C-alpha cells in the first residue's frame, strides 16, 4: 500500500494540515510507535493483532478446510468481525474462485431463507465463527442452517468447520462431533482478526493463496517505523486524526473497484468500533467510485467542510474496450476502455475535490490480489491502532454494544435484565399517515 496525502495539506485544502504541523505530530507518532512496539512485543491485548503475519499458520488452516476444499459454495455464519474480514477477502478475489461465498451476517428471516433455498447443500460447506460461541445472531443462524442441511438429508457434521474460542458451546459442539476446528487467536479483537483463521478459513475454502495474504501483511509490517513520513499506514492514521482534530469528523472511504466494496464495510467497522468512544472518533462512510459520484459528490464538494475523502485506487485490473459508436458526441468513448474511463473519473473526482479545497487522501494498490490485499488490511489496522494512540482511547474495547445485547436477551426471555425493562418505557411522539 502506498499513500498520498498531498491533497490533505493546508496549502491545498481546508481543513488541511500544514507540513509543520505534520512534523510536530510526527513526534507523537514516534511515541505512539514505541507504545505499539511494546504492546506487540508483550503480546498485549489488541496489539497482538499486529503480530498476526507471523503468528497465523496457513498450513493449519489449509489442513482444517481440506475435507470441504472443493465445495461449490460456502456459507459463513458470523457477524461483525467474525464475517467482515473473511467477506472482504473473498469478495475482493471472487473473480479468481469457483466457490460461491455466502455470508449469513443478519437474521432477516426472508433473506436467510432465500439464501438457503438457492444453494446446493450437498456441495456446500459451513463455516461458523464466534469467539464466545454464544453470539445470538450467529447461533440462531447456525441452528437454522444445520436444520436446513438435516431436512435436505445432508450430514452437516461432514461439511462444517468451526472457528471459536477455547471453550463455549461451539467448542463443545466441535469436540462432540469431531469437527475440524480452529481457534480465534487470543488478544485479537474480532475487527482485527481478518489475518487469522477468522478471516482466512473462507479464503482457504475458496482456494486463495493464504501465504501471499500473510506475506503482503508482513511487508506492510516492515514499514512500521517511528515516522509517518516513512510508513504508509502511519501516514494515513496520523493524517486522518489530524484532519478530524481540524473539523473533518467524517471519513468517506471510496474504493474505485466493485471488488473492494466490502473492504469499505470492513474499514467502517474497524474505524467506528475502535475509535468511536469517549465522544471521540471519525464517522466512517462507505461509498463507491464511480457510482457515488452521481450520489455523494455534490455533498462532498459543496456541503459542510467536515469530511476527509479516502480514495482507494485498485491498480492493475482486467479491462474491456468500449465499442465504437457513430454518435459524434460520444465518439471519445469509443477510443477508450472501461478501465480508462474508470481511471479518468477517479482522477477527475480527486482533482475536483482538491479544486474545491476539500481534503482527500489516496491509498494505492498495485493490483487487487492476495499480496496487496494482505498489505491493505494490515496497513489499515496499523493506521487505526496509531490513531487510537493519538486520540488516547481504548482502541480494542467496544463497551457500548453491551447494553443492547442484554436488552435483546431480556426481551426474548433469556434472563432478567433492567435494560429490557427500559425498552418498554419509550417516549413516543407519533405522526401517522
Interface region with a copy of itself, contact rule CB under 8 A, candidates 8-16, 48-56, 201-209, 380-388: 8-16
Using the rule CB under 8 A, is 4 a contact of a copy of itself? yes
Which residue in 137, 220, 273, 381 is the catalytic one? 273
426 tagged catalytic: no
Which residue in 110, 166, 294, 426 is the catalytic one? 294
Using the rule CB under 8 A, is 100 a contact of a copy of itself? no
Using the rule CB under 8 A, is 281 a contact of a copy of itself? yes
Site string for a copy of itself, 61-90 (x = CB under 8 A): ------------------xxx--x------
> 59, exposed or middle or buried, with CB in 10 Å at 0-12, 13-18, 19+?
exposed
Reduced to 3 states, what is the DSSP secondary structure of residue 111? helix
In the complex with a copy of itself, the residue whose CB is nearer, 61 or 368, is 368
- 273-296: buried (b, 16+ CB within 10 Å) or exposed (e) per residue? bbbbbeeebbbbbbbbbbebbeeb
Q: What is the DSSP string of 369-385?
A: SHHHHHHHHHHHHHHHH
- d(CA 102, CA 85) in angstroms, rounded, equals 13
Using the rule CB under 8 A, is 231 a contact of a copy of itself? yes
Residues in the interface with a copy of itself (CB under 8 A) total 151
Residue choice 5, 29, 93, 243 for contact with a copy of itself (CB under 8 A): 5
Using the rule CB under 8 A, is 273 a contact of a copy of itself? yes
183 tagged catalytic: no
Interface region with a copy of itself, contact rule CB under 8 A, candidates 32-40, 41-49, 152-160, 219-227: 219-227
Determine the length of the chain: 433
Cell of 193: 482478526
Q: Which three-class secondary structure string do you get for 5-32?
A: CHHHECCCCCCCECHHHHHHHHHHHHHH
Using the rule CB under 8 A, is 106 a contact of a copy of itself? yes
With a CB cutoff of 8 Å and minimum separation 6, the contacts of 243 are: 8, 15, 16, 17, 308, 359
Using the rule CB under 8 A, is 220 a contact of a copy of itself? yes
Using the rule CB under 8 A, is 30 a contact of a copy of itself? no
405 tagged catalytic: yes
- d(CA 374, CA 63) in angstroms, rounded, equals 21
By CB under 8 A, the residues from 336 to 355 that bind a copy of itself are: 336-342, 344-345, 347-352, 354-355
Active site residues: 273, 294, 405
Amino acid at each position: 500500500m502506498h499513500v498520498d496525502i498531498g491533497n490533505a495539506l493546508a496549502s491545498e485544502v481546508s481543513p488541511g494540515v500544514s507540513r509543520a504541523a505534520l512534523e510536530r505530530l510526527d513526534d507523537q507518532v514516534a511515541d505512539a510507535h514505541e507504545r505499539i512496539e511494546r504492546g506487540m512485543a508483550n503480546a498485549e491485548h489488541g496489539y497482538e493483532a499486529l503480530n498476526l503475519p507471523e503468528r497465523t499458520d496457513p498450513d493449519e488452516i489449509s489442513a482444517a478446510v481440506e475435507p470441504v476444499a472443493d465445495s461449490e459454495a460456502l456459507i459463513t455464519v458470523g457477524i461483525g468481525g467474525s464475517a467482515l474480514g473473511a467477506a472482504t477477502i473473498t469478495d475482493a478475489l471472487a473473480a479468481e474462485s469457483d466457490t460461491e461465498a455466502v455470508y449469513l451476517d443478519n437474521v432477516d428471516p426472508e433473506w436467510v431463507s432465500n439464501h438457503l433455498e438457492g444453494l446446493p447443500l450437498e456441495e456446500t460447506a459451513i463455516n461458523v465463527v464466534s469467539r464466545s460461541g454464544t453470539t445470538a445472531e450467529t447461533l440462531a443462524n447456525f441452528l437454522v442452517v444445520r436444520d436446513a442441511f438435516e431436512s435436505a438429508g445432508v450430514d452437516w457434521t461432514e461439511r462444517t468447520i468451526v472457528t471459536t474460542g477455547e471453550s463455549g458451546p461451539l467448542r463443545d459442539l466441535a469436540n462432540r462431533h469431531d469437527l475440524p476446528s480452529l481457534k480465534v487467536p487470543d488478544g485479537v479483537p474480532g475487527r482485527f482478526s481478518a489475518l487469522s483463521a477468522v478471516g482466512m478459513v473462507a479464503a482457504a475454502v475458496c482456494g486463495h493463496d493464504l501465504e501471499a495474504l500473510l506475506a503482503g501483511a508482513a511487508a506492510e509490517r516492515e514499514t512500521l517505523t517511528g515516522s509517518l513520513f516513512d510508513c504508509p499506514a502511519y501516514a494515513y492514521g496520523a493524517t486522518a486524526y489530524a484532519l478530524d482534530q481540524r473539523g473533518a469528523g467524517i471519513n468517506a472511504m471510496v474504493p474505485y473497484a466493485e471488488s473492494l466494496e466490502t473492504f469499505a464495510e470492513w474499514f467502517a467497522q474497524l474505524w467506528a468500533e475502535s475509535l468511536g468512544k469517549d465522544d471521540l472518533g471519525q464517522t466512517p462512510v462507505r461509498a463507491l467510485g464511480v457510482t457515488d459520484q452521481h450520489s455523494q459528490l455534490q455533498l462532498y464538494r459543496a456541503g459542510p467542510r467536515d469530511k476527509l475523502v479516502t480514495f482507494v485506487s485498485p491498480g492493475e485490473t482486467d479491462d474491456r474496450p468500449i465499442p465504437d459508436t457513430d454518435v459524434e458526441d460520444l465518439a471519445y468513448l469509443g477510443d477508450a476502455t472501461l478501465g480508462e474511463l474508470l481511471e479518468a473519473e477517479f482522477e477527475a473526482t480527486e482533482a475536483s475535490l482538491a479544486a474545491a479545497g476539500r481534503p482527500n487522501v489516496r491509498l494505492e494498490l498495485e493490483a487487487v490480489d492476495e499480496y496487496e490485499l494482505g498489505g491493505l488490511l494490515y496497513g489499515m489496522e496499523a493506521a487505526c491502532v496509531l490513531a487510537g494512540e493519538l486520540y488516547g482511547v481504548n482502541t480494542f474495547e467496544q463497551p457500548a454494544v453491551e447494553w443492547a445485547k442484554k436488552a435483546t436477551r431480556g426481551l426474548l426471555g433469556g434472563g432478567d435484565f433492567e435494560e429490557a425493562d427500559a425498552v418498554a418505557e419509550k417516549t413516543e411522539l407519533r405522526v401517522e399517515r
